[in-house]
Amino acid sequence: MVQLHETLETILAEVMRRNAGEPEFHQAVREVLESLNTVIAKRPEYAEEALIERICEPERQIIFRVPWIDDSNQVRINRGFRVQFNSALGPYKGGIRFHPSVNVGIIKFLGFEQTFKNALTGMPIGGGKGGSDFDPKGRSDREIMRFCQSFVTELHRHIGEYTDVPAGDIGVGGREIGYMFGQYKRLTNRFEAGVLTGKGLLYGGSRARPEATGYGNTYFTRAMLGTKGLDFDGRTVVVSGSGNVATYTIDKVTQYGGKVIACSDSNGYVVDENGIDLGLVKEIKQARRQRIAEYARLKGEGKGVYYVAGGSIWDVPCDVAMPSATQNELTGKDARKLVANGVIAVGEGANMPCTPEAISVFQHAGVLYAPGKAANAGGVATSALEMQQNASRDSWSFEQTEARLAAIMRGIHDLCAETAEEYGAPGNYVMGANIAGFVRVAEAMRQQGVI
């Protein structure tokens, strides 16, 4: 663990006291503060006027009851959250997560990370995040609709195209965004397309938005490999998860000549040494909404195809690891295993998937490591492009949108690399991302006074 400057140590202690019992939030704040050691030495103005303390404190936190009726006519209660973290650069922007593990600390860590990520994109968007402890697994389509409608019945008074613009995240995809948009429209009597992103193409969605996070991580990781004269071509790749981010990571890596040999869900992982059949993954996950174990059953076990219940997908030897499921899914032990098996690069599709110990193992072993804050920013960047299309009542082609996404990811990569260099840590993308994101937000806050 890096020793913090005295001022930063005091700030972290206060954050931990004020947000007791929220370990993920403490972890995310600590990582950013570690990167600021050199910043406050070079730019002391950023430690003045409680700027760092203000950045660590959400502007607003909303917690609400979500009552709904299940298919057997039972009344159910969940808890809804929206943490509006920082609006220095634009309206709050960040996804909504439906997962039983959701609590205020998880949403706060995600909103904090989102603030810096959004700043890195260079687009006019602030940071926020929301969600519920609702578990969509096994729920019927009607139950999902009723839940989304109830969720938005409360949330609608806090969001808007100039206020706060949610999108999808774990457990929230195009179907859920559609139900939420429909209810928002009904409650407000406004077709306010820019209030949510990740919409269907027929009613204001953007082409390339579903692909954006996975594609974006692949562009970033490829640019990082390129700094060492390397590429995906002919490399073996392991991608955890089998949801939105994982699916389109597999797609783009394969287009670049990489061979993805494993993916997973929360029950276990599947290995296909011939290369994962993405069509089959989509069929299982998006059409049938089944478990990834089905992959091995449908393909037939043997000939390099097998399923492992539980266990760690990071035991599978690979050249490039792309964690794309959830926070803290890749531990120090996993990292040591990956290093022993010869991994050369790690590109984070998920938010904070590697534990601090895992990051340290990669950095000490000289493994190229791309933090999610930078590498998975393609999703929100394309959401901002969706907002642009909505504001101008326009709809761009897939090629045009993908080209913008690729240019944005290149820009983020170069910004992180140059900032790391400037602050004396060449090749350290964690430092580069944290410092570059922080400076943009901090500078805008300074110019807007003590608010």
Enzyme catalytic residues = 129
* Residue 171 binds to ligand NDP (criterion: CB under 6 A): yes
In the block, which residue shows the tokens 């410092």?
435
Nearest residue (CB) to ligand NDP, 12 versus 371: 371
CA distance 187 to 116: 32
Give the distance, in angstroms, between the CA of residue 1 and the centroid of all CA atoms in the same chain.
24
Which residues on neighbouring strands pair with residue 320, listed in sequence order? 237, 345
CA distance 288 to 282: 9
CB of 324 to ligand NDP, least distance (A): 6
Nearest residue (CB) to ligand NDP, 271 versus 325: 325
Torsion sign over Cα 29, 439, 163, 97: negative
Applying CB under 6 A, the site for ligand NDP has a residue count of: 24
Instruction: Please state, as a whole number, how many other Cβ atoms lie within 10 Å of the Cβ of residue 312.
Output: 17
Q: Give the three-class secondary structure for 428.
A: coil
- Per residue, the 3-state secondary structure of 143-158, as one string, reads HHHHHHHHHHHHHHHH
Interface residue with ligand NDP, options 281, 308, 325, 375 (CB under 6 A): 325
CA distance 149 to 232: 43
* Residue 349 binds to ligand NDP (criterion: CB under 6 A): yes
Q: Give the three-class secondary structure for 85.
A: strand
CA distance 307 to 305: 7
- Segment contacting ligand NDP (CB under 6 A): 54-62, 177-185, 228-236, 348-356? 348-356
Per-residue binding string, ligand NDP, 120-159, x by CB under 6 A, is ----------------------------------------
* Residue 351 binds to ligand NDP (criterion: CB under 6 A): yes
CB of 228 to ligand NDP, least distance (A): 25
Interface residue with ligand NDP, options 24, 34, 143, 169 (CB under 6 A): 169
* Residue 84 binds to ligand NDP (criterion: CB under 6 A): no
Burial (CB < 10 A; 0-12, 13-18, 19+), residue 279, is exposed
* Residue 170 binds to ligand NDP (criterion: CB under 6 A): yes
Torsion sign over Cα 299, 342, 417, 93: positive
Secondary structure letter of residue 445 according to DSSP: H
CB of 349 to ligand NDP, least distance (A): 6
- C-beta nearest to ligand NDP: residue: 243
CB of 267 to ligand NDP, least distance (A): 6
* Residue 376 binds to ligand NDP (criterion: CB under 6 A): yes
CB of 350 to ligand NDP, least distance (A): 3
Secondary structure letter of residue 99 according to DSSP: -
Site for ligand NDP in 231-270 (CB under 6 A): 241-246, 265-267
Interface residue with ligand NDP, options 168, 178, 432, 437 (CB under 6 A): 168
Q: Give the three-class secondary structure for 91.
A: coil
Nearest residue (CB) to ligand NDP, 153 versus 197: 197
* Residue 213 binds to ligand NDP (criterion: CB under 6 A): yes
CB of 332 to ligand NDP, least distance (A): 17
- With CA atoms as reference, report the closest residue to 260 among 281, 242, 239, 234: 239
- With CA atoms as reference, report the closest residue to 163 among 188, 137, 132, 133: 188
Please give the residue ranges that form the binding site for ligand NDP (CB under 6 A): 99, 168-171, 213, 241-246, 265-267, 324-326, 329, 349-351, 376, 379
